[in-house]
Structure 1
Amino acid sequence: MPGIDECLLEAMLVPGARGASIVDWISGLALGAVGESPGSDHEATAAETAELARMATEYTTFAPKEPTAYGSEGPDREGEAEDKVEGPPVEDLIVTTRTGYHVVRFVETTFDSSVFLHLWLDRDLGNLALARLRLQNLAERLVLG
Structure 2
Amino acid sequence: MANTDIALKEAMTIDGALGAALVDLASGMSLGVLGGTSELDPAVAAAGHTDLVRAKQRTMQMLGVDGQIEDILITLTRQYHLIRPLTAKTGAGLFLVLILDRQRANLAMARRRLQLIEGELDL
Normalising by structure 2, report the TM-score.
Answer: 0.89
What residue is the counterpart of 1:52 in the other structure? 52
- Give the AA of the match of 2:26: I
Is 1:137 the equivalent of 2:116? yes
- Give the AA of the match of 2:20: A
What residue is the counterpart of 2:79 in the other structure? 100
Whose Rg is larger? 1
- Say what the alpha-carbon RMSD is for the aligned residues: 2.2
- Give the AA of the match of 1:92: D
> Which structure: greater helix fraction?
2
What residue is the counterpart of 1:18 in the other structure? 18
Change (3 A) 1:136 1:26: same
Q: Which moved more, 1:41-50 or 1:18-27?
A: 41-50
Alpha-carbon distance, 1:55 to partner = 1.1
Stretches of structure 1 that go unaligned for 5 or more consecutive residues are 67-84
Stretches of structure 2 that go unaligned for 5 or more consecutive residues are none
Change (3 A) 1:37 1:28: farther
Q: Give 1:1-145 correspondences, 5 Å limit.
A: 1-36=1-36, 40-60=40-60, 64-66=64-66, 89-111=68-90, 113-144=92-123
- Give the AA of the match of 1:105: R
How far apart, in 2, do the equivalents of 1:38 and 1:115 lie?
26
| Fraction of identical pairs, as percent | 36
SS of corresponding position for 1:136? helix
Residues 93-139 of structure 1: CA distance to partner in whole angstroms, max 9, x if unpaired? 00000001000111123256111110000010001000100011111
Alignment coverage as a number of residue pairs? 123
**Structure possessing the higher relative contact order (Cα contacts under 8 Å, 6 or more residues apart):** 2
